[in-house]
Amino acid sequence: MNLNTPLFKTLGLSWLMFLITGLLISWLFAIPTLTVLIDRSYCPSNQWQQVSQTYTDLYHQHQRRQLQLRSVILFSNLGQEVFASPPLPEAIQALSTYGYSDLYRQAELQKTYSKTQLLGCHS
């Protein structure tokens, strides 16, 4: 019985240190999170291609786990649409643009979400 007590203490402390080390690693090397705001107001197609290419780059970083896209929000003066999970880049490329840029809505979204990246023709 005396032999088992030090063995269990050593085993318990080893697992505890393993858990603490794992938590420290995940905290120190955390993947940055980002909310992408896409201004969907009217944009010429050649400029929209640049916007969608920037989103594609962010999406690929998300796929490689270099970046976590928390959500993607499309907005204009006519409304907004929130995606809880990032849409495929092809979906963003295929979007039609309409309406006008809404600077008030943009400011409110940037205030609501802490870390954002704004994509759009007018940004």
Tell me the per-residue pLDDT of 41-62, one tens digit each, with 9 for 90 and over. 999 988 999 999 999 999 999 9
> Taking residues 9-36, what's their average pLDDT?
86
pLDDT at 111: 94
Q: Which helix (H) or strand (E) holds 39?
A: strand 33-39
Convert the pLDDT of each residue in 63-92 to its tens digit.
998 899 999 999 999 889 999 899 999 999
pLDDT at 5: 83
Task: Examine the domain organization and report whether 111 and 59 are in the same domain.
Answer: yes
Task: Examine the domain organization and report whether 53 and 71 are in the same domain.
Answer: yes
Task: Examine the domain organization and report whether 53 and 107 are in the same domain.
Answer: yes
Share the mean pLDDT of the chain: 89
Domain of residue 43 covers 33-119
pLDDT-derived band at 26, boundaries 50, 70, 90: confident
98-120 burial: b if 16+ Cβ within 10 Å, else e: eeebbeebbeebeeebeebeebb
pLDDT at 3: 67
Task: Examine the domain organization and report whether 85 and 99 are in the same domain.
Answer: yes
- Between 3 and 16, the higher pLDDT residue: 16
Task: Examine the domain organization and report whether 68 and 21 are in the same domain.
Answer: no
By DSSP bridging, strand 79-83 and strand 68-76 are antiparallel
Task: Examine the domain organization and report whether 22 and 62 are in the same domain.
Answer: no
Task: Examine the domain organization and report whether 75 and 44 are in the same domain.
Answer: yes
Percent with pLDDT over 90 in the chain: 58
Task: Examine the domain organization and report whether 13 and 66 are in the same domain.
Answer: no
Task: Examine the domain organization and report whether 15 and 38 are in the same domain.
Answer: no
Cβ atoms of residues 116 and 36 within 8 Å = yes
Q: How many domains does the chain have?
A: 2
Cβ atoms of residues 40 and 118 within 8 Å = no
